[in-house]
Amino acid sequence: MKFIVLAFFLTVCFYKEINAQDFVGTNDREKKVLRLINALPEIVKENQHRKKAHVKCLIKACIQNTPTKTENYYKVSISEDLGFQLRTYDWYEVDARNYTIKYDDMITGKSISLAAWRRQLRSRKKGV
């Protein structure tokens, strides 16, 4: 029984390390990806709004997955670290070769260009 519990614990720890969330970046490429996402106008504007409202917790980019042999992009979320909870708002994909950013639409399951995503946002605001 102890062996089963130990094996389970080690498996969970190992899995957590593989999928660790990273707000800082472990190498220059990851740091560049995080800087690019954090510099998006939508992120900057939201954080400015939060600062004016004296909200202590800002949103920031968090690398969720790094490129693999089959998927050559970084999966990045925009999250708010509340300490006890990580609240995620948006998802992006950043191409590892040329740093092209796409919005990952979780509802449709498709990635779209930032320009197309922004057009969708504007059209939704006009319709409201």
Dump pLDDT digits (tens) for 45-79.
999 999 999 998 999 999 999 999 999 999 999 99
**The pLDDT of residue 85:** 87
Which residue blocks in 1-104 are alpha helix, DSSP H?
2-18, 28-38, 41-52
- Host H or E run for residue 69: none
**The pLDDT of residue 13:** 44
pLDDT-above-70 percentage for the chain = 81
Please state the pTM of the whole predicted model: 0.77
**The pLDDT of residue 23:** 76
**Residue 66: alpha-carbon gap to chain centroid:** 11
